[in-house]
Structure 1
């Protein structure tokens, strides 16, 4: 919890707040949406990039397949036209009919058209060179044929030139298949590279997205944790710590309202403490006079009392003592709340303190015929003896109060390493399960109330625990099997602050 909080109307104008607000979204919803956007953005980019890579690969594959099919088809067409031209010349030479050369000219025209279509494709340099050579050979045969086409006998010499032309056509076709295989290899390489790129992007971006999600989770959880801690502290009465919530402006404003509530509760707590102090002091003076008067009556200073009058005087004296103890509890609680209960520490014997408390409460113990089982060795500790006596007195008073007549109260002390443990166990009805977490709260009476005309203030255990904590110890309610309540007081043997 950061111990600083200012109201919005008090701090909205300074430069620190302005710069801080610029670094935070204006609302919790915007922070969540921003987090989702930043976490999803890398994955969206990777998905788009993968889609583009696949699209490029598919387009390249489509073009490569189309070109391979065109080259293969045109290569076969060239071979067919060369065969048709050679067949027409052979027939003309054998039959001596020059009209048969029409088949050659048709095949020649188709050859040129097919070659021109091949040049329009994206051929490799080797293919272009072979196709140029093939065209040159066919053009040479055509020129010779144009000169001697009227002399069928002279066509014999041209037939031999077609062998070279067929070989060139076969070479061109073979080179086309070789280049197709090379193109297929390049496509496989491209596919492998695309696969590697997509895999690398996923391996890099998924942890990055997880990291971003974790960071935004922390950023979202931090103000919620601060609010939860603030509410928990206020619920436990820890009102001295200021509340500040970092994050979106609406949560910051909520933190400011919580701090306003804390200040209001603190002010009310101070008013309550002052009221207790004033009322306790105002009651203490007349009560002292009442107690002294009851003492004088009981001692027979004003004259001997008969049995009934003596009983009434004893009741007045007993109840005035009980009332004085309640007022002293209220004063002790007020002193704790205003931090006026300073500790004056020195060496003290735990056994001596316990025996003194038992002596003080001997009358009420005898009146209820209670049995005390005490096991306490000589144990020396650094403490404020009077406050430790108050702790033991409150624990014993609680045990005596809730123990039935002729019941048993067990008290034992022992040393555990550098700590002293004092246990107080009674045989009463015990503490209700629903009261266990609230038994040390101020003014809490519990669900199991005694039928007594004098009610407690509910401050005894609270004051005892505050004194124990001030010594660096604690008081715990130990789970008890069966009836009764079991309290354990733990105190350090040596002063933890080293003040002695």
Structure 2
């Protein structure tokens, strides 16, 4: 036992609030880690994509500028060959300087192999053409054609660089789309991996939290049902363990009070029965004339003594029956019971009282076997039938009906007595409640129906009362054919 307590204190936080906070953190931690991981990954991909697209855009811009400068070089050379003005070579040098700056800018970029190859061909071509112009003398007609064709080829090479740069830009945009799609796939993978993990952790945490609460609930239910035999021990946070210890103290106090009550009932019944027996025997001797003949008035007084002493003895026996019923309510000895045979045996026990008052019986019993405590089921039938006999007038009718309704047994007992007022039907099953029926000539002890209800509830059934047609009361007992457990 100590091992269990030590383990619970080792695994559980000191308080229930800490347990809830710890549980919330355990559930939220995987989700938070997953989202942080995804956020970092997306940010990294975004930076890479932004850098790649920026470089592609810069290469495209420089390629367009290179294309324009190649075209400008070709135009200056054409003007130089047509106008034969050596001053135009100064313009060529200025354009060529910008051309070289642009090629240098492009060469510093992380170009791929096709781009770098086209750029080098363009640089080499321009350098070769420039060397043909270095003498700063007008070339011959054949050389002029070669120069023009060379610069046209240079323009085509620059256009090729631009085309490669545009293709690179398109490729980077496509890579960006691919990266975004991959980030989305990774996010879904994280969610698919994290959500089931979070659900599993949630279930585990729920069980972890619910265990001490469930133990408290079961302990309180056992106390409420009068089951004091098993001790109460709560495994969980310190505050819940303390609450369990207080419930155990309450259980022990209830056990002590129950023992005191039983002892008191035994002493009271014994102390009352001894003088009551003497009183009944003395009144019987007086009634028989043992002490001498009695006058009619004396006979009347003796009859009153006999009647009241008999009534007092019945009350004492009812108290003892109540005590026995209270002790046995929660214990069921289940077995297969033929209810129709049991009802017939109880009816036979009441046959003398029924015949002496000329009461008719209407019996409709279907053959039916259920899983029940035969002793308690007999008490239920006996108390209901006794109640019907007690309140039915001479020459009245008592109806008994038994049938199966799905997975329930329905047993009904109806009488032709004065009935039960609607305002008393909720209280008629309370302990020691004795309502007025009709003119109030018949009074019960208030125990029979209460005991019947407790035994019905122990079988997980229910009992109700209603009008029996134009006159009388009808009690209906519904019990499961196969009860799922005991109360």
What is the TM-score when the length of structure 1 is the normalising length? 0.76
Deviates most, 80-89 or 51-60: 51-60
Alpha-carbon distance in 2 for matches of 1:100, 1:479 = 123
Superposed CA offset, 1:161-180 (max 9, x none): 22232221111111111222
What stretches of structure 2 of length at least 5 have no aligned partner? 481-487
Work out whether 1:75 is the aligned partner of 2:63: yes
- Please say if residues 75 and 172 of structure 1, whose CA atoms lie closer than 8 Å, have aligned partners that are also in contact: yes
Q: Deviations over 1:54-111 (max 9, x none)?
A: 4334333422332222112211211222222233333333333323211111112111
Structure 2 residue 248 is the aligned partner of structure 1 residue 259? yes
User: Residues 113-158 of structure 1, C-alpha deviation per residue, up to 9 Å, x if partnerless?
Assistant: 1111112212112111221222222222333433x12x22367354
How is 1:371-386 mapped onto 2 (pairs within 5 angstroms)? 372-375=359-362
Compare 223-232 and 258-267 and name the one that shifted more: 223-232
For residue 294 of structure 2, give the secondary structure of its aligned residue in structure 1: coil
Residues 351-407 of structure 1: CA deviation (Å, up to 9, x unaligned): 431124558xx6xx7xxxxx7333469999999999999777754664576x49879
Change in CA separation of 1:464 and 1:75 when aligned onto 2, cut-off 3 Å? closer
Question: 1:296-347 CA deviation, whole Å, 9 max, x = no partner?
Answer: 22222222222211111111101111111111222334445566x999x999
Give per-residue Cα distances to partners, 1:168-215, cap 9 Å, x unaligned.
111111111122222222222222222222233334434443444444
CA offset digits 1:422-448 (Å, max 9, x no partner): 725353452666764x6555x432566
Alignment partner of 1:153 is 2:153:
no
> Cα–Cα, structure 1 residues 374 and 404, in superposed 2: closer, same or farther, change >3 Å?
closer
C-alpha distance in 1 between matches for 2:256 and 2:3: 31
Alpha-carbon distance change, 466 to 70 in structure 1, aligned in 2, over 3 angstroms? closer
Question: What's 1:137 paired with?
Answer: 125
CA distance in 2, matches of 1:87, 1:480: 118
Hey, what does 1:110 align to over in structure 2?
Answer: 98
Aligned pair 1:285/2:274, yes or no? yes
Contact 2:280–2:310 (Cα < 8 Å) also in 1: yes
CA contact (8 A) 1:32 1:220 kept: yes
DSSP 3-state at the match of 1:123: coil
CA distance in 2, matches of 1:182, 1:381: 84
Query: 1:37: which partner in 2?
Result: 25
Cα distance between partner residues in 2 of 1:98 and 1:191: 57
Q: Distance in 1 between matches of 2:240 and 2:253?
A: 20
Residue in 1 that maps onto 2:84: 96
Note if 1:187 corresponds to 2:173: no
Q: Quick one: distance in 2 between partners of 1:85 and 1:377?
A: 120
8 Å contact from structure 1 (residues 88, 104) kept in 2: yes
Selected match of 1:27 from 15, 22, 25: 15
Distance 2:419 2:44 in 1: 84
Distance 1:192 1:328, change over 3 A: same
- Report the equivalent of 1:4: none
Give 3-state SS (helix, strand or coil) of 2:93's partner.
helix
The residue matched to 2:359 in structure 1 has which SS? strand
What corresponds to 2:319 in structure 1?
330
Distance 2:149 2:365 in 1: 133
Could you tell me whether the CA contact under 8 Å between 2:383 and 2:449 is conserved in 1?
yes
> Once the 2 structures are TM-superposed, how far is the Cα of residue 414 of structure 1 from its aligned partner?
5.7
- CA shift at 1:490, angstroms? 9.1
CA distance in 2, matches of 1:380, 1:101: 126
CA distance in 2, matches of 1:264, 1:452: 41
Aligned length: 464
> What is aligned with 1:430?
420
